[in-house]
Chains A and B, each alone.
Chain A
Amino acid sequence: DAGVIQSPRHEVTEMGQEVTLRCKPISGHDYLFWYRQTMMRGLELLIYFNNNVPIDDSGMPEDRFSAKMPNASFSTLKIQPSEPRDSAVYFCASRRGQGAKNTEAFFGQGTRLTVV
């Protein structure tokens, strides 16, 4: 398997524009996580899905952020409208289901977002 695939790797956009980040999890993984990482706040969990269903979105900072998982092999994180304070590295991660031995999470390479 190619691992968790995120696109784009880098995104530069102007304030007010819509930004869509994409993630393809590892095949067979039941859980998908979206994180945001900054120097100030570290690695923050934004939302996670189980079997394509959002389970906990309490980390989503504002209504400007939304995430979807239309099927088991694709998820998006959308920011509309974007603001300079959204600049960060966004990671997607996936892991297998609830079996006790399957808790390891695999991360993508991340998307570095810069909002100017």
Chain B
Amino acid sequence: SQKIEQNSEALNIQEGKTATLTCNYTNYSPAYLQWYRQDPGRGPVFLLLIRENEKEKRKERLKVTFDTTLKQSLFHITASQPADSATYLCAPRMDSSYKLIFGSGTRLLVRP
């Protein structure tokens, strides 16, 4: 069966460091993969989309990579700030339909 795996343990880092979050998927080759941010008490908010023919995508301090051989996407936040503290969810397109399935998310805590 298809699975989406994100590290369930919270990532705790010092302000100014780079945060790296991992999204692994199995048994499918997604055409694209999305990353969302969720703050407590709020719905997820879209951050970035990367397609299968793109190795890397950047937006300000955010960088996403997509390795279709490893079946993995990495999400980086450089020069992290306490305001980056949130849960980050990945959503690979896991079949030919348009349904949107999320990983369990990784909570990031940036200490001042």
Answer yes or no: A116 CB below 8 A from chain B CBs: no
Q: What are 27 A-B residue pairs whose CB atoms fall within 8 Å in the complex?
A: A4-B43, A31-B98, A33-B99, A33-B100, A42-B103, A42-B104, A42-B105, A43-B44, A43-B89, A43-B102, A45-B99, A45-B101, A48-B98, A48-B99, A50-B98, A55-B97, A56-B97, A91-B44, A93-B43, A104-B34, A104-B46, A104-B49, A105-B46, A105-B100, A107-B45, A108-B43, A110-B41
Contacts of A95 in B (CB 8 A): 100
B10-56 interface with A by 8 A CB criterion = 32, 34, 41-46, 49
Q: Which residue of A lies closest to B45 (CB)?
A: A107
Interface residues on B, range: 20 to 34
A residues lining the B interface (CB < 8 Å): 4, 31, 33, 42-43, 45, 48, 50, 55-56, 91, 93, 95, 98, 103-110
Contacts of A107 in B (CB 8 A): 43-45
B40 to chain A minimum Cβ distance, whole angstroms, is 11
Tell me the bound Cα distance from A57 to B23 in angstroms: 25
- Name the residue among B45, B89, B102 with the largest chain A CB count within 10 angstroms: B102
Tell me the bound Cα distance from A56 to B99 in angstroms: 8
Beyond contacts A48-B98, A105-B34: 19 other A-B pairs, Cβ-Cβ < 8 A, are: A42-B103, A43-B44, A43-B89, A43-B105, A45-B100, A45-B101, A50-B98, A56-B99, A93-B43, A93-B44, A98-B98, A104-B34, A105-B46, A106-B46, A107-B45, A108-B43, A109-B42, A110-B42, A110-B43
